[in-house]
Amino acid sequence: MNSEKYIGLDVHQATISVAVMDSRGKVVMESILETKASTILEFFAGLRGTLSVTFEEGTWAAWLYDLLKPHVAKVVVCNPRKNALLKDGNKSDRIDARKLAELLRLDNLKPVYHGETGVRMLRELARSYLTIVKDLTRVMNRLKALYRSWAIPCAGRDVYYTRHRTEWLGKIQQARRELLAESRKHPITAKLRKIPSLGPIRSALAVALIQTPHRFRTKRQLWAYSGLALETRTSGEHRYVRGQLRRSKKQVSIRGLNKDHNHDLKGLFKAAATRASVQPGPFQDFYQRSLAKGIKPTMVRLTLARKIAAITLTLWKKGENFDAEKLKSQAA
């Protein structure tokens, strides 16, 4: 009788789902193990026959490979991007472990190379070094992007040096002064800056990005332009009941916020909402009341951002000043 066993491991931070399959494709054992070396080795010590094991490449793959290699006949660390079968049908830890065992039995896995354990320490140090370099590069690029967003040329490396920091910060301050000076030529900025958390800079940016409120017939059009509109999905909207066509009562599913939008304007209103949630005033009162009703903080801040956008549009069109008493009627 063939004593080969094929073991699929669906690995997670706290637990591992295990499926053990024989050579005929029958699942002979299933278990959930703690992601702990002693527990894993104890489980494998209780198995008999020629053992082949597989799991997906990930955070735990190198550690698990080194742990199991001396105790089994074959270890396959597989490429999750190549496992089309795992994406088909229902999905759960138990099902994934079974599918991995089946793919291993059929020799239908794309392996990821895991070489000699002697260079394990060097590999970990190399990974840490590359991560730090990537993070440093990302920060340096973001720093230059900040200056470019203020239309400040920043070629070369001077922007990164400590000895030039005062000079470069001065350029940002100069750009801010020029922005504010120009914004004073537009009377609407004086009215918009009275909206709590909008302030002089955000008011100037709002006028620059929106240009005119009359391009938006309703507040919902501004929400969509600002990336604050909800996108929904539905299908099978109608059905026949006793020969009569009727609209289905199936609930519309929400996909999230619209992707096509002005990113700068979205950042402006979201930052204003975050500021308003911690700054004493009518918006913070609304934020606290909403939290007391059990609404998630992220959803309350989204609602707050939409309120600020709606109020901005209303005041701009009417040329009025902000009035906290009219808050509900302006952004309902």
Which of 32-46, 73-87, 302-316 is the least confident region?
Answer: 73-87
Cα dist from 146 to 133, 142, 178, 189, 261, whole Å? 20, 6, 16, 23, 20
* pLDDT of 293 above 50: yes
Q: How far apart are CA 179 and CA 149, in angstroms?
A: 12
Question: For 274-292, what is the mean pLDDT?
Answer: 92
Which of 8-17, 76-85, 218-227 is the least confident region?
Answer: 76-85
- 8 Å CB contact between 192 and 203: yes
Q: Which of the two residues, 241 and 129, has the higher pLDDT score?
A: 129
Q: How far apart are CA 107 and CA 61, in angstroms?
A: 19
Q: How many other β-carbons are positioned within 10 Å of the β-carbon of residue 56?
A: 21
**Residue of 28, 37, 33 lying closest to 17 (CA atoms):** 33
pLDDT at 328: 54
pLDDT at 182: 93
Fold of 4-115: Nucleotidyltransferase; domain 5 (3.30.420)
pLDDT at 331: 42
- Element at 18 (helix H, strand E): strand 15-22
Domain ranges of the chain: 4-115, 120-180, 196-230+261-330
Q: How far apart are CA 308 and CA 157, in angstroms?
A: 39
What does the pLDDT look like over 225-264, one tens digit per residue? 999 988 766 555 556 667 676 776 666 556 678 888 999 9
- 8 Å CB contact between 61 and 77: yes
Q: How far separated are the first and last CA of the chain, in Å rounded?
A: 74
Q: How confident is the model at residue 27 (pLDDT cuts 50, 70, 90)?
A: very high
What does the pLDDT look like over 137-186, one tens digit per residue? 888 888 888 888 778 888 888 888 888 888 888 888 888 899 999 999 99
Average pLDDT of the residues of the chain? 86
* pLDDT of 32 above 50: yes
pLDDT at 332: 41
* pLDDT of 1 above 90: no
pLDDT at 297: 92
> 202 Cβ partners below 8 Å, 6+ apart?
193, 268, 271, 272
* pLDDT of 301 above 80: yes
- 8 Å CB contact between 257 and 230: yes
Q: Which of the two residues, 248 and 201, has the higher pLDDT score?
A: 201
Q: How far apart are CA 163 and CA 294, in angstroms?
A: 50
